[in-house]
Copies of this chain bind each other. A is one copy, B any other.
Amino acid sequence: MDLDRSSPVPLYYQVAERIESAITSHALPAGSRIENEIALSERLGISRPTIRRAIQEVVDKGLLVRRRGIGTQVVQGQVTRGLELTSLFDDLIRGGQVPTTELLSRETLPASAAVAEALAVPLGSDTLHLRRLRSADGVPVAVLDNVLPADYLDLDTAALQNYGLYQVLRSRGTTMRVARQRIGARRASADESELLELEDGAPVLTASRTVFDDSGRAVELGTHCYRPDLYSFDVTLVQK
């Protein structure tokens, strides 16, 4: 038992990690039932509420399923097989290729009606518009358009060339907390197909996202388009 009560890492988190790795390592095989809460609680010397929270963490990740009166079982299905064929981008990353980002343009523009509403800033107020091209292994993967409110007009251009946008924001003390995004598809525009090295009118996967910081204020409006042969989105849903 590698539980450390003096660690700053919460107990429930340490327990959740142990359960999760027991599942992914198949020490707990798919479909098997895990120990009940009371037994776990006594065996680890931890109170039942803490054990419950640990288990709930793993349930929320879609790895466990619980039924009252029955028990807790491991969900079948390796998390990433079969469906994974499509995501060459992931393969590139796992193959050790670091994604790179090129800053294509940087402008300060007045907020349009749509931008003003999405960012909750005054209509016509200054906003920072960025256009970037993300590549992996020299292959262009996505065109990223971002709009940020006036507080960020002075973002460091050099930093944007070398680090991801979120990294730069975090180093300014901004902590992103909530993101709402809409995923869709459409034909690539002329400039997009050129940047992404696609035929004219080829399909692209799109995402529009608004990100909020830990005070609830909008930090960023992103409008991205991805090469669908190199990128896709994974989502896990748990019915509550």
Contact = CB atoms under 8 A, between A and B. Distances in A.
Contact of A181 (B84, B176, B215, B235): B235
B117 A81 contact: yes
A64 B87 CA distance: 33
Interface residues of A, number: 60
Nearest to A204: B185
Nearest to A182: B83
A1 to B, nearest CB: 24
The oligomer's copy count stands at 2
20 contacts: A65-B215, A75-B178, A77-B120, A83-B118, A86-B182, A86-B184, A87-B182, A177-B239, A178-B236, A182-B233, A183-B205, A183-B232, A183-B234, A184-B205, A184-B232, A185-B204, A185-B205, A185-B228, A186-B228, A235-B235
Interface of A: 30-31, 62, 64-65, 67, 73-77, 79, 81-84, 86-87, 114, 117-118, 120, 175-187, 201-205, 208, 210, 212-218, 228-229, 231-239
